[in-house]
Structure 1
Amino acid sequence: MEIRKRVLRAEHPDTLTSTANLASTYRNQGRWKEAEELEVQVVETRKRVLRAEHPSMLASMASLASTFWNQGRWKEAEELEVQVMEMRKRVLGAEHPDTLTSIANLASTYRDQGRWKEAEELQAKELKICSRVLGAKHPSTLTSMNNLALTFKAQGRNDEAILLMEKCFQLQEQVLGPQHPYTISSLKALNKW
């Protein structure tokens, strides 16, 4: 990364990609402050050299939001997630997989703040779109189903949660296999409920 900065300059796309990759490595290691510092650099630089709605810019903003989320900095994460979601809807369309990921991320932020109705609304919308666009058995659809079931459970809506999680588990078993971590996680949730 340092060599690219020296040779190509800090604003070169390859340098920004290297910086973003290092930030991702830090985030995966739980080194939040180091990740955040680099992600802020990338976002600020990309704001100067790219248009606001460029896919790389949106990906950088989403990464920074994820770093905020992992630190429990919900308001900062939410602010960026809303921006990314709205821009992706406008640029890519409401049914694009990246837009759906943005919706899921924002719903997760709401859920982690105990904002159940807002989380449920987004999760139900995302699940409906995923089912229609990607198919009922697509892994992203199954993740959406799992998340909505967890939100139902958190609201004390046990019957709805169990029904949806049972359906999710059955499809995960078919699609991902019985030993897949997501399948096992869904089964553990059902057994606990």
Structure 2
Amino acid sequence: MGKYKEAEEQLERVLMIQMTIYCPSHHNTIYTMRLLASAISARGRYSNGGKVNKEALTLAKRVLGDGHPDNLTTKSDLASILGKLGDFAESESLHRQLLAHYQEVFSNDKPKVIIARLNFGVALEKQGKFLQEAKQLQEKSFNGREEVLGMKHPDTLTSYFNLAQVLHAEQQYDTALELYRRALDGLERNPGVGNPVTIACREKKVPLEQTIHGQSSA
């Protein structure tokens, strides 16, 4: 956390200087605001990070346009922060916009489309809605990442985990558990046992194992 606090303080100083030299709507200022929002959010201060990110997104849309890469990245960052704040509906809306844009620009096997599809599927799953749509999105993301990145890549393993969560919600327990185990086995190696995704996967897998064991013992 110390490095993020230091980064936040440095970025705040840079932003103050840029506000003086340039203006709030300058490209460099918007970029620094986005970095500052990320540094704030990395310390768990999602509400504050979201506020800065919204300001950056408003400026980016006005100055750079909807399709500019920096605007899209800022929108993706904000969608992630809103998800952590529990504002799943707004997070879903932003992820839906991003997916629609990337699908217009790139083919379906490109990493940006795969990641956007994955994030949108997660946003749907978090709300417990459109399970079939979420499942289809996660399966497409899973297949795309496996083909592009390989089975052992952390992003592919994260796709295993996300698809497992959708299947878990559909009460397809055996299949979900198999995917949890496959994901956890790889995630514990890379990025490691202390990674938040690895921890979340373990916390999903263990209770499901107990549920299945209880059903088989009954």
TM band (smaller chain): 0.7 to 0.9
Aligned length: 165
How far apart in 2 are the matches of 1:177 and 1:131?
22
Post-superposition Cα deviations, 1:145-171, rounded to whole Å, max 9, x if no partner, equal: 111111111111332222110011111
Which of residues 149, 152, 176 is equivalent to 2:149? 176
- Look up the match of 1:138: 110
- Look up the match of 2:5: 33
> What is the SS of the residue equivalent to 2:82?
helix
Could you tell me the TM-score, scaled by structure 2's length? 0.70
- Look up the match of 1:161: 134
Equivalent position amino acid for 1:56 in 2: N
Could you tell me the TM-score, scaled by structure 1's length? 0.79
- Look up the match of 1:71: 43
* Identical columns (%): 32
> What is the SS of the residue equivalent to 1:93?
coil
**What's the CA shift for 1:75?**
2.3
- Look up the match of 2:178: none
**What's the CA shift for 1:51?**
2.6
How far apart in 2 are the matches of 1:51 and 1:134?
34
> What are the ranges of 5 or more consecutive residues in structure 2 without an aligned counterpart?
169-218
**What's the CA shift for 1:32?**
2.1
Q: 1:56 to 1:168 in 2, by over 3 A?
A: same
Post-superposition Cα deviations, 1:132-153, rounded to whole Å, max 9, x if no partner, equal: 1233222122111111111111
How far apart in 2 are the matches of 1:186 and 1:126?
18
8 A Cα contact 2:150 2:156, kept in partner: yes
